[in-house]
Chains A and B, each alone.
Chain A
Amino acid sequence: MIKQNTCGIWVTAVAAVAASTSCGADTHQHEVIAPGTPVPGESIYQLELSLTDQNGQSTMLSALRGKPTLITLFYTSCQGVCPLLAVTLRNIEESLSAQERQGLKTVMVSFDPQRDTPQALGEFAKLHQPEGSNWLLARTAEDNVRELAAVLGIRYRPLPDGVFSHSAVIALLDADGVVRARTEMLQELDPQFMQTLRAMLPEPAS
């Protein structure tokens, strides 16, 4: 289904980059799939899996199509690297202009669907997302986590006592869901990753 375009200039910019027909950066809902155009073969949106976000809303992963997206896997009770992942996502966003930020989505999917209820996800989001951002924090069925981790090249293993051992990777998807960059650099910004990201975002108006 198609949502009304409501944000003028961004739409054109994003559409140009991403061949997408929608934006909706100002709403909480998820973006709209470009109708008709098939998803590229390498796109992670080939995965048929449904996400439940911090508001309890369900959406298909492929519905994220439309904007460049930062995506990572984490879990809220993680004491080690996950808060750093969130800090890194935040740092990335804060290094961008307000305009660039609007062209970008940030998605964190939990390794731990059992304990990461919408409420837990919501609290984590509130704690970490920058002012004015609408991060999507979501959980999905265990087997889906495995597939999502597989396509993002993330290694993880559940340990006893609810701990997950996992590699900390932030992936950059283009508007069609193809992984264009990955980084394992935490806190500091990975220059190459940022370069690829900036090239995808709308030019700041001069």
Chain B
Amino acid sequence: MRLTVCLLLLAGTSLAATSTGGAGTDSVTLGPAKFESVLPPAPGKRAVALASFRLDRRPVTNAEFLAFVREHPRWRRDRIPRLFADAQYLSHWQGADRLGESALPAQPVTRVSWFAAKAYCESRGARLATWYEWEYAAAAGPAVADARRDPAWRQTILNWYARPSSKPLAAVGQESANYYGLQDLHGLVWEWVLDFNALLISNDSREQGGANRLKFCGEGALSTADRDNYAVLMRIAYLSALEANYTTGNLGFRCALEAS
């Protein structure tokens, strides 16, 4: 494994986030910004340029997803083709258009596939956040735009990773907001990103940039492992284990939007 130490700087303009609350859900405007990602955008390149974008304050809830399914019945669990969601899709709901006791309205919706998450956001005129947008937003601590060098902050993330997902999920919006006013980016659910299949981590993490280079066209198989960033890398490992129709009990999403 090639170790690339990358300096993490949220360079420049950390404009205080402005709350806009458009498109029916409360969202926040972030960027434009340049920041250093764990995933180098190109060989030898560090900085990622982000255009201004809006991000939901909180993950999408069961109640919100239920409203979507009622309006777009092709996304009901009894109608959706397997190509778009595996057999566990919304399986914790009591019925195809009913939540029931193990899916409370304010809990984040989970057991949703990438296709379903994407369709939900598109129905709102929005989209899923890209990995870079998500990483940028989630790098913030409670009081700073870039908490990635803060060991205490990192430890809280790792503590969440270490807890199996056997307990019921909390409602969204319980945790204190981060620097931008965003909630639950860490510690509640994993979240889909639009380009989850762009992370290019190999299934065997030890062969990054190794003998199997041919498997990937062009440079850019993920070849970074800044140890300070392994919390973020583990999220990338998680996302790269997914296929687009996968659903799991701790995977939800939130939507993003181009800033107008």
Binding site for B on A (CB under 8 A): 39, 41-44, 46-47, 78, 80-82, 84, 146-147, 149-151, 153-161, 163-168, 184, 186
Among B81, B199, B216, B243, contact of A41 (Cβ-Cβ < 8 Å): B81
Chain A residue at minimal CB-CB distance from B219 = A165
CA distance A157 to B220 in the complex (A): 8
User: Chain B: how many interface residues by the 8 Å CB criterion?
Assistant: 27
Contact B217 A46 (CB under 8 A): no
Chain A contacts for B240, CB-based, 8 A: 155
Chain B residue at minimal CB-CB distance from A161 = B42
CA distance A46 to B79 in the complex (A): 12
Q: Is residue B68 within 8 Å, beta carbon to beta carbon, of the partner chain? A: no
Contact A156 B197 (CB under 8 A): yes
- Main DSSP-derived SS at the B contact region: loop
CB distance from B46 to the nearest CB of A (A): 12
Chain B contacts for A158, CB-based, 8 A: 198
Chain B contacts for A80, CB-based, 8 A: 214, 217-218
CB distance from A89 to the nearest CB of B (A): 15
Among A43, A150, A153, find the residue whose CB has the most chain B CB atoms closer than 10 A. Answer: A150
CB distance from A125 to the nearest CB of B (A): 19
Chain A contacts for B216, CB-based, 8 A: 81, 155, 165-168
CA distance A78 to B217 in the complex (A): 8
Among A80, A155, A156, A158, find the residue whose CB has the most chain B CB atoms closer than 10 A. Answer: A155
- Give 1 or 0 for each of B233-260: 1 = CB within 8 Å of chain A CB: 0000000100111000000000000000
